[in-house]
Every structure is written in structure tokens, then in C-alpha cells.
Amino acid sequence: AQKVTQAQTEISVVEKEDVTLDCVYETRDTTYYLFWYKQPPSGELVFLIRRNSFDEQNEISGRYSWNFQKSTSSFNFTITASQVVDSAVYFCALLEYGNKLVFGAGTILRVKS
């Protein structure tokens, strides 16, 4: 069965610090998709990124960057120069057969001003 582990339950940083959220996954599939979602206090999850297992290039979008390493089954997410608005719960997820997203337990990020 697919599994996603986010070992960091909660992280607190001061504004402008860089922060990395870890994600480790397990799958027997050779082709798979990985995702990150953000859940602000309002509740709705916001899609951030989808990554195909064939594409190991790192991706950068503004202050966000993602590091995908197949060798270690990791898909880590870094926020550069964090801001208070980045405070949220962040979920890593893996797409399983049947269109099912398997989510990790989430990491609570608190950014203090």
C-alpha cells in the first residue's frame, strides 16, 4: 500500500527564515504522482504542485521550491524568506490507483513576526 510520512508535526520559525518541510513516500508503482497542498485556517486545501515520477528536476515558484529525490523517496518543500501568511498546515500526498490521493498527516507551520 502507498504511504506518505511527514515526520515533522509542527515547525515554528521567525519571519524571513527559510524552512523545509519533509516528505517521504512509499510506493511499488514505477509511475506515480506527488503533490503538496496547503490548508490555511479557513479549511480549504489549496493545490500547490504536482510532480511526475519521471521528472526529477527541482521546481521553483517564487519563494517556494521543491526537491524530488527518487533515490531517497523524498519530495521536500522549501519556503524561502517565510512570511506570516505562510502559516498553515501543509500536506504531502501521493496519487494511488483509483484516483485516490493518499495524504500524509501534515506539518503545521507557524511563522511568527
Distance CA 91, CA 46 (A): 10
Please give the Cα distance from 40 to 37 (Å, whole number): 10
Of these, 30, 31, 42, 71, which contacts another protein (CB under 8 A)? 42
What's 31's DSSP letter? Answer: S
Asked whether position 43 contacts another protein by CB under 8 A, the answer is yes
Complex with another protein: residue 8 or 80, whichever CB lies closer:
8
Closest separation in Å from C-beta 38 to another protein: 11
In the range 79-108, which residues lie near another protein by CB under 8 A? 91, 93, 95, 98-106
User: How many angstroms separate the CA atoms of 9 and 31, rounded?
Assistant: 28
Footprint (CB under 8 A) of another protein, residues 57-76:
none
- Least CB distance to another protein at residue 90 (A): 11
State the nearest-atom distance from the C-beta of 64 to another protein, in Å.
16
Planar angle of CA 15, 17, 21, nearest 5 degrees: 110
Which residue in 15, 110, 93 sits closest to 48, CA to CA?
Answer: 93
Residues binding another protein (CB under 8 A): 4, 33, 35, 37, 42-47, 50, 91, 93, 95, 98-106
